[in-house]
Amino acid sequence: MVSNKLSYHTIAISEKDNWAVNFLYHTIAGRVMLKFLTKPEVSRAAGLVMDSPISSLWVPMFIKNHSICLKDYKAEKYRSFNHFFTRKARKGVRPFSRNPLHVPAPCDGKLTAYEMNGSEIFRIKHSVYDVKHLLKNPALAREFADGTCLIFRLTPDDYHRYCYIDKGRIVSSRTIKGILHTVRPIALQQYQVYAQNAREYTVMETENFGKVIQMEIGALFVGRIKNHKANGTFFRGQEKGMFEFGGSTVLLLFQKNAIKVEEEILINTKKKRETMIKMGDKVGEKSG
């Protein structure tokens, strides 16, 4: 029998980071450089390098530095770093709960969960993150007022493919152009990253959770979000797309009273901690 119980490992949401990220976000010289580095053209150029055969030389060091277990993935000879980065998991490694009323994680990541106040998701210092700015569609944002937001922050060691959480159909899709900040907590302290970064979102009518929005947000050096389709039907656990090199974010929006998030995840978020989960883990269930 497949177990979908969370391990509940957590990490603190911290402004601390490595010296390079601290330099970029906490110094005047670094912020000047950010104006150049966050341009989509820079990430596209980095993507070309990561597609080149010579970039495969970086793979062994990356595996060692991030303690990646290759037993979880299909055995392949990687043609480039991006070929490695978008590697596919072996069948059964990321199992989904068989209970259709369980809300599964669409991806690996560090999860925070918020019960929204109107369209407001959360505040960090003087910045307000809300659905209107994320979607750039006030009418659609009103449909999700007082709903639930799940934010899955992916880091380089995570599996960078993502799936649909339920059976259903695509209502609409939208791509929003933007810049590309890192999605590390340190950047969220300084800028409205999710509302500024390039992103794509899909409005979905699901069988068990009603109308749901799944958004993929690009990050520094992750200019390429690859969704497989913009219309049609889908099934629970079907691959929706993938990110190329770097950290990134998947965001799920549910309407009011559609789901109940696992209590421990909500408690962790209030304590400024992220819950570490894998694709397919149960993170909540249908309300009622």
Higher pLDDT, 220 or 102: 102
Q: Is the pLDDT of residue 91 over 70?
A: yes
Q: Which of 55, 97, 119, 248 is catalytic?
A: 248
- Secondary structure letter of residue 51 according to DSSP: H
How much is the pLDDT for 271? 92
Q: What is the mean pLDDT of the chain?
A: 84
How much is the pLDDT for 237? 95
Q: Is the pLDDT of residue 238 over 70?
A: yes
Residue 211 DSSP SS3: strand
pTM listed for this prediction: 0.85
Tokens matching residue 216: 């993929």
Residues 246, 113: Cα–Cα separation, whole Å: 22
Whether 108 is catalytic: yes
Q: Which residue in this structure is represented by tokens 């691959």?
A: 239
How much is the pLDDT for 164? 98
Higher pLDDT, 251 or 36: 251
How much is the pLDDT for 2? 41
Higher pLDDT, 75 or 180: 75
Phi/psi of residue 126, nearest 5 degrees: -100, 5
Tokens matching residue 224: 């390429």
Measured CA to CA in angstroms, residue 110 lies from 9, 31, 140, 192, 232 at distances of 10, 26, 27, 19, 29
% of residues, the chain, pLDDT over 90: 52
Read off the pLDDT of each residue in 252-273 and give the average, rounded to a whole number.
Answer: 95
pLDDT band at 223 (very low <50, low <70, confident <90, very high): low
Q: Which of 43, 97, 108, 158 is catalytic?
A: 108
Residues 229, 240: Cα–Cα separation, whole Å: 8
pLDDT band at 3 (very low <50, low <70, confident <90, very high): very low
CB neighbour list of residue 240: distance below 8 Å, 6 or more residues apart: 106, 162, 163, 164, 202, 214, 227, 228, 234
Read off the pLDDT of each residue in 224-234 and give the average, rounded to a whole number.
Answer: 92
Read off the pLDDT of each residue in 16-43 and give the average, rounded to a whole number.
Answer: 61
Read off the pLDDT of each residue in 220-236 and give the average, rounded to a whole number.
Answer: 85
Whether 287 is catalytic: no
How much is the pLDDT for 1? 37
Read off the pLDDT of each residue in 175-190 and give the average, rounded to a whole number.
Answer: 68
pLDDT in tens, 38-64: 666 666 677 677 889 999 998 999 999
Evaluate whether 108 touches 161 at the Cβ level (below 8 Å): no
Residue 263 one-letter amino acid: E
Q: Is the pLDDT of residue 19 over 60?
A: no
Q: Average the pLDDT over each of 113-122, 207-216, 254-263 and give the range with the smallest value.
A: 113-122
Radius of gyration of the chain (CA): 18
How much is the pLDDT for 6? 54
pLDDT in tens, 97-118: 889 999 999 999 999 999 998 8
Residues 159, 242: Cα–Cα separation, whole Å: 9
pLDDT in tens, 114-142: 999 888 887 655 456 789 888 999 999 99
